[in-house]
Structure 1
Amino acid sequence: MRDYAKAAPKMWHGKTMKALRKHPEGLIVAMYLMTSPSSNMLGLFAQPILYMAYETGLGEEGARKGLQHCIEAGYCSYDEESEFVWVHEMASYQVAPELKATDLRCKGIQKDYESLPENPFLLKFFERYAAAFHLSKARGMEGAYEGPCKPHRSQEQEQEQEQEQEKEQEQDSSSSLRSEEGSAKSPSRSSGRKKSEQSTLTTYLATCREAGVKPLPKDHAIRRWADDAGISEEMLQVAWVAFRERYTEDTQYLAKRYKDWPATFANSVKDRWFSLWFTTDTGEVQWTSTGLQRKVVLDARHAEQQAQQEVADASA
């Protein structure tokens, strides 16, 4: 039993708690799950309904009714057979929304996660918190399996890698300039040359369209790497869409400039920036829930485009 649990006052203004205001039993069950004697900081634990009924004073019927309201509000998931509950955002409240990779709590969370009994929510928990807590080993599909050789990258880590890549490209540009024009050139001319060689993704895509070439060449090394790694062409396409949307639609990344955009995309695939897939213990690469969701959206877009094209052809 935990000595204490955190319940932030601001939670009452959250979307989920607002939805539960209409259902008093739901509010009681929600607070009970957050502070239950059976709970843990992960929010993933065994919680028999009979205990819930007795300790809340709701009785079995009231406890089941309140639990159902919590499930419908998206507060938690519950499995009758294993009697396990997963309070979806509890770990972010009890631990932190996100930890740095050097935080020792990451190892503790991984250890606690690995020690949990089998239940249906192990894989979903991993997918939800792998990036936030730098988890490296997932469970929940044909027993335990190892995640990627590198932990999921947080946004901060991705930005650090991007900065390193920028420095490398600057160094390459400076070296090239010195070899062509000599080391006597002034810094101002060097920086001007470097700036002209780099571009935003929007500019790069426009240049490719004008030249009639693919942004990612068919013979690019990342295609062979992905094939060797078991990453399908469809997965690579979804990864490219996620990559393109980040650097052409997200205001945080719009101004990013690189000399070699295909190489930057290759890094995003190798380091799984978007957490679109995972590798099982048998070496099979499968979609994560995030990847599957993106795939469904992309398939829907393709279907819509195809339908519009058929209408246009029919009316031509």
Structure 2
Amino acid sequence: MRDYAKVGPKFWIGDTGKALRKAGPDVLVVAMYLMTCPSANMLGLYYLPLPTLAHETGIPFEGALKALQRCCEVGFCSYDEDAEVVWVHQMARFQVADSLKAGDNRCKGIQADYDALPANRFLTPFFCLYVDAFHLTSCRGEGRANEAPSKPLRSQEQEQEQEQEQDKEQQGASSGDDAPNRSDPIPYSQIVRGYNSAMVNLPKVRELTPARKSAIRTAWHGSKGRQSLAFWTAFWAECAATKFLNGAGPYTGEHANWRPDFDYLIRSKTVTKVYEKAMDRMERAQRGDGEAAAA
């Protein structure tokens, strides 16, 4: 158990804080609990069974579950129901720092804490989001090969079903411009899922339309370096780490109310601008895996 936790005053006036406040007092209690509870760690990624959440907040189970779902919907956190692990997306920045110098001993501590986490589906997104800020050296996968995939929270089931239908549609397609082929398969839905996992402060993609498939295909064929899921994982992580692209801004003048979305980020011009940084990020992550395997 930690001796203390940091909660910044901006929690109450930031966009996410305002969204939590509008959602009601139970949602605010759960959000504050997730940052300060006995189970929490400085990473914001930790084991938390739902009965524990309900018991320690004093909120009836169904109410606590609904409040947690709302926290997920506004982008404050994500919950892996199968692993019983919660990830408060920006908590590590508040509990540790926006970034650390490479020689800071806390970097080794963060890597050690990360290595000790139970298997869950947030391990790779967490690494991609914080690899540069905390100089992480080794990325863990989403779990062991024999583990079942994580179950979504009930409020996310419809979204998951839609993604499965999209996958079936792609697998069953045998002709047409939007269908992948054996010589050039494009994992459309997996690229979309990568966006939804990493870009937690932007609108989720809920429809994989022909226009979006066309934009993905154009970006995919922009160069050989873009033709892997490893690149797209790194690409979304780079976007998530860039304030202009992740929704943090600042946005001024006539664009004060504008925010990027999937359609903007997947444009060929945007991908080209982010390409080199994303390639660097991907290569660093791969070197980290190689070094860990050789150790």
Q: TM-score, normalised by structure 2?
A: 0.52
Residue matched to 2:69: 68
Matched ranges for 1:3-82 at <5 A? 3-23=3-23, 24-82=25-83
Deviation per residue, 1:143-192 (Å, 9 max, x gap): 59xxxxxxxxxxxxxxxxxxxxxxxxxxxxxxxxxxxxxxxxxxxxxxxx
Call closer, same or farther: CA 1:100–1:48 in 2, change over 3 Å: same
Q: Which has the higher contact order (CA 8 A, sep 6+)?
A: 2
Q: Residues 209-256 of structure 1, C-alpha deviation per residue, up to 9 Å, x if partnerless? A: xxxxxxxxxxxxxxxxxxxxxx944469999xx9xxx9xxxxxxxxxx
Residue 73 of structure 2 aligns to which amino acid in structure 1? E
Does 2:113 match 1:112? yes
Correspondence for 2:281 among 275, 280, 298: 275
Deviation string 1:259-287 (CA, Å, 9 cap, x unpaired) is: xxxxxxxxx96x9675256439997xxxx
CA-atom RMSD in angstroms: 3.2
Structure 2: how far apart are the matches of 1:35 and 1:65? 19
Task: Give the equivalent residue in structure 1 for 2:140.
Answer: 139
Structure 1: gaps (5+ residues):
145-230, 247-267, 284-316
Distance 1:142 1:75, change over 3 A: closer
Is 1:87 matched up with 2:88?
A: yes
Partner of 1:40, secondary structure, is coil
Q: Distance in 2 between matches of 1:142 and 1:232?
A: 28
Instruction: Write the distance in 2 (CA, Å) between the matches of 1:8 and 1:54.
Output: 25
Aligned counterparts of 1:91 and 1:9: Cα–Cα separation in 2 = 16
Identity of matched residues, %: 53
Residues 233/40 of structure 1: CA separation in 2 closer, same or farther (3 Å cut): closer
Cα–Cα, structure 1 residues 234 and 86, in superposed 2: closer, same or farther, change >3 Å? closer
User: After the TM superposition, which segments of 4 or more aligned residues of structure 1 sit over 6 Å from their partners?
Assistant: 236-239, 280-283
| Number of residue pairs aligned between Structure 1 and Structure 2 | 170
Deviation of 1:89 after TM superposition, in Å, equals 0.3
Trace 1:192-231 onto structure 2 (pairs within 5 A).
none
Contact 2:121 2:143 in 1 (8 A): no
Correspondence for 2:103:
102
Deviation at 1:42, TM superposition (A): 0.4
Cα distance in 2, alignment partners of residues 104 and 235 from structure 1: 36
Do 2:123 and 2:139's aligned partners in 1 also have CA atoms closer than 8 Å? yes
Structure-2 residue corresponding to 1:261: none
Partner of 2:256: none
Distance 1:235 1:28 in 2: 43
In 2: Cα distance, 1:280 partner to 1:139 partner: 13
Choose 1 or 2 for highest CA Rg: 1
User: In 2, distance between residues paired with 1:141 and 1:37?
Assistant: 25
Q: In structure 2, what residue type is equivalent to 1:38?
A: S
Distance 2:143 2:32 in 1: 33
Cα distance in 2 for residues equivalent to 1:124 and 1:138:
10
> What is the TM-score when the length of structure 1 is the normalising length?
0.48
Which runs of no fewer than 5 residues in structure 2 stay unpaired? 146-222, 243-274, 291-295
Residues 148-187 of structure 1 mapped to structure 2, 5 A cutoff: none
Matched residues in 2 for 1:280 and 1:273: separation? Answer: 12
